[in-house]
Amino acid sequence: MSTADAATKRHHVVIIGSGFGGLAAARSLKKADVDITLISKTTSHLFQPLLYQCATGILSEGEIAPPTRLILRKQKNVRVILGDVEAIDMDAKTVTSRLSNIATTVTPYDSLVVAAGAQQSYFGNDQFATYAPGMKTIDDALELRGRILGAFEAAEVATDHAERERRLTFVVVGAGPTGVELAGQIAELADRTLAGAFRTIEPNDCRVILLDAAPAVLPPMGEKLGLKAQQRLEKMGVEIQLNAMVTNVDYKGITVKDKDGSERRIECACKVWSAGVQASPLGKMIAEQSHGTEVDRAGRVVVEPDLTVKGHPYVFVVGDLMAVKGVPGMAQGAIQGANYATKQIKNHLKGHDDPANREPFKYWDKGSMATISRFDAVAQVGKFEFSGFIAWVAWLVLHLYYLVGYKNRLTTVVAWGITFIGRARGQMAITSQMVYARLALEKLQNQQRQAGVPVGPPNDASAAVAASADGRAAEGMPTPEREQQAAG
């Protein structure tokens, strides 16, 4: 176990997470007289709003997930550590993170900003994940790309009519922005990019089904925009099934329960889950150490008006991990929360901070948007609602603005031009690793667990680092030491 350079003389800020909240916090402390340690279990800053474009072959994973340490290379007061945070000790003021089986690091802090976000929720049916991956990580997006394009390939060689239809049926569960965007892109991929490329199937004959247990599409954006989005998707051939609750997911398809209580099957090869989120388990860990702090049903920390937890004025929880009335789980919530937290830290450094009398966090709602297809989006800014081409252009500009790095912005514009003006997509390669790696890793880890071998949490980046650090030492891989241990 190592201890990070804790004995620094300057105020030490530890930030957990390199998403919107974590990166905003680090950047806003650029000129502050502090040392910062940013700990994240992924090496990159993932721009989640464009994950669906990675999944459908428009953008590469590099364009939406630049390495955090390169973004922060010039900011000399930050040290970036790759590691899974396993423990936060709010009495000792330390954070313990682990990089696979290679290293455990204990990092002391004076101020802590926790921006660990959320993960996919299957509402207690985690077994669905085997057949219906979510849309939260680069791994998810690449797996989906493999599954979507793989389904067309499998349909091309199917000799049985029913099986061909099954392979050409795509089901997206969850009609929020992610589900709407993904369903629209699968339809457009089939209609434009893949048209004419197969000999025994017509990609455009595929069924794309968007279903939700709720009675509307895009519920947070209101009835009018939801209906507009629904009509546009239907015009593109997407089937919308509302009031439809998924009760089972298996290899062959899904089982759905309708409002009248009847159950039916949808035979489909490719299923995507974009129906719910569950906050990082770090939320519960924090709440348990703070008398009077609770987590909500989604595991988010019910923070104080200054985004701290009771009794710990320098432990801030921001972004998708915080529960604040009126603040949605969106990038702006995370960025504004992080900026608010670092402002309090800066005030403290200047001797101006009085935790008991801080002005409460105020969220500025800048609106929300969702694309439906090329040239078509819906947007809501304050009381204004608009849709169509103008909304789509606004969506493009806004996403470009928030994308990190000039090179990424440039290559993204080029990729968008290729796809939206032309009909090609630059990222259509798929590999068996994309499709099978998650399940193969899980299987390996389960075997190791059953054998009593210590296995760390599944973590793409740390497993990769472990594998390169000492050959077979990747998470879940047998080593002589582990085999000996397992044998007792």
Active site residues: 181
Exactly one of 184, 203, 299, 319 binds ligand FAD (CB under 6 A); which one?
A: 319
* Min CB(261)–ligand FAD separation in Å: 32
Q: How far is CA 322 from CA 26, 119, 205, 318, 384, in A?
A: 18, 13, 43, 5, 27
Is 117 among the residues that bind ligand FAD (CB under 6 A)?
yes
Exactly one of 190, 194, 216, 334 binds ligand FAD (CB under 6 A); which one?
A: 334
Structure tokens at 72: 């922060």
Near ligand FAD by CB under 6 A, which window of 111-119, 144-152, 196-204, 425-433?
Answer: 111-119
Pick the closer one to ligand FAD by CB: 96 or 230. 96
133 neighbors 274 (Cβ within 8 angstroms): no
> How far apart (Å, rounded) are the C-alpha atoms in residues 293 and 315?
12
- Which amino acid, residue 64? I
Is 136 among the residues that bind ligand FAD (CB under 6 A)?
yes
Pick the closer one to ligand FAD by CB: 132 or 135. 135
337 neighbors 283 (Cβ within 8 angstroms): no
Helix (H, G, I), strand (E, B) or coil at 360: coil
Residues 68-97 that bind ligand FAD (CB under 6 A): 84-85
Is 116 among the residues that bind ligand FAD (CB under 6 A)?
yes
Is 49 among the residues that bind ligand FAD (CB under 6 A)?
yes
> How far apart (Å, rounded) are the C-alpha atoms in residues 278 and 295?
11
169 neighbors 268 (Cβ within 8 angstroms): yes
Pick the closer one to ligand FAD by CB: 137 or 169. 137
Structure tokens at 290: 């703070």
Pick the closer one to ligand FAD by CB: 134 or 146. 134
20 neighbors 320 (Cβ within 8 angstroms): no
* Min CB(435)–ligand FAD separation in Å: 19
> How far apart (Å, rounded) are the C-alpha atoms in residues 424 and 142?
18
> How far apart (Å, rounded) are the C-alpha atoms in residues 421 and 374?
9
Near ligand FAD by CB under 6 A, which window of 157-165, 230-238, 261-269, 331-339?
Answer: 331-339
Pick the closer one to ligand FAD by CB: 146 or 174. 174
Near ligand FAD by CB under 6 A, which window of 112-120, 254-262, 283-291, 434-442?
Answer: 112-120
Residues 168-227 that bind ligand FAD (CB under 6 A): 177-178
> How far apart (Å, rounded) are the C-alpha atoms in residues 48 and 86?
24
Near ligand FAD by CB under 6 A, which window of 12-20, 99-107, 221-229, 475-483?
Answer: 12-20
Is 110 among the residues that bind ligand FAD (CB under 6 A)?
no
The residues with which 384 forms a beta bridge, in sequence order, are: 381
Exactly one of 4, 16, 180, 307 binds ligand FAD (CB under 6 A); which one?
A: 16
The site string for ligand FAD over 23-42 (x = CB under 6 A, - otherwise) reads ----------------xxxx
Total residues binding ligand FAD (CB under 6 A): 33
* Min CB(22)–ligand FAD separation in Å: 5
Pick the closer one to ligand FAD by CB: 48 or 230. 48
Exactly one of 17, 146, 184, 456 binds ligand FAD (CB under 6 A); which one?
A: 17
423 neighbors 194 (Cβ within 8 angstroms): no
> How far apart (Å, rounded) are the C-alpha atoms in residues 19 and 15?
11
Q: Which value, in Å, is the radius of gyration of the alpha carbons in the chain?
A: 23
> How far apart (Å, rounded) are the C-alpha atoms in residues 339 and 115?
12
* Min CB(351)–ligand FAD separation in Å: 29
* Min CB(349)–ligand FAD separation in Å: 23
- Which amino acid, residue 191? D
451 neighbors 486 (Cβ within 8 angstroms): yes
> How far apart (Å, rounded) are the C-alpha atoms in residues 335 and 25?
8
Binding site for ligand FAD (CB under 6 A): 16-22, 39-42, 48-49, 51, 84-85, 115-117, 135-136, 177-178, 280, 282, 319-321, 329-332, 334
